[in-house]
Amino acid sequence: MTFEQISQRGKGYFKIAETLLHAAQTMTDRAIAGQLKALADDYQRRAEKASHVDAAKALARSAANAEGERADMT
């Protein structure tokens, strides 16, 4: 999935992940850095999941609108 394909909500999660990853890279405490990296990974997964869910919802809305338009024509 490219950045252009990520939903707005997914982009928000992705931005948080980038911030956490950057913070982890600047940490001198390895334990905290590891926790921040794990949290960043979790937010990246959330970004992908949110984008898939948002795309599915948009597709469902589009299908419902098309069905409604078809019903109006009859």
DSSP string for 3-64: GGGS-HHHHHHHHHHHHHHHHHHH-S-HHHHHHHHHHHHHHHHHHHHHHHHHHHHHHHHHHH
The model's pTM is: 0.71
Q: Look at residue 3 and tell me if it is in a domain.
A: no
Q: CA dist 64 to 24, 55, 70, 73, Å?
A: 44, 14, 10, 14
pLDDT of res. 58: 85
Flag whether pLDDT at 73 surpasses 90.
no
pLDDT of res. 19: 96
**pLDDT, tens digit (0-9, with 9 covering 90-100), for 20-39:** 999 999 999 999 999 999 99
Q: Look at residue 50 and tell me if it is in a domain.
A: yes
Q: Look at residue 2 and tell me if it is in a domain.
A: no
**pLDDT, tens digit (0-9, with 9 covering 90-100), for 36-63:** 999 999 999 999 898 888 888 888 888 8
Q: Look at residue 35 and tell me if it is in a domain.
A: yes
Residue span of the structural domain in which 68 resides = 8-73
Q: Look at residue 36 and tell me if it is in a domain.
A: yes
Q: Distance (Å, rounded) from C-alpha 23 to C-alpha 61?
A: 39
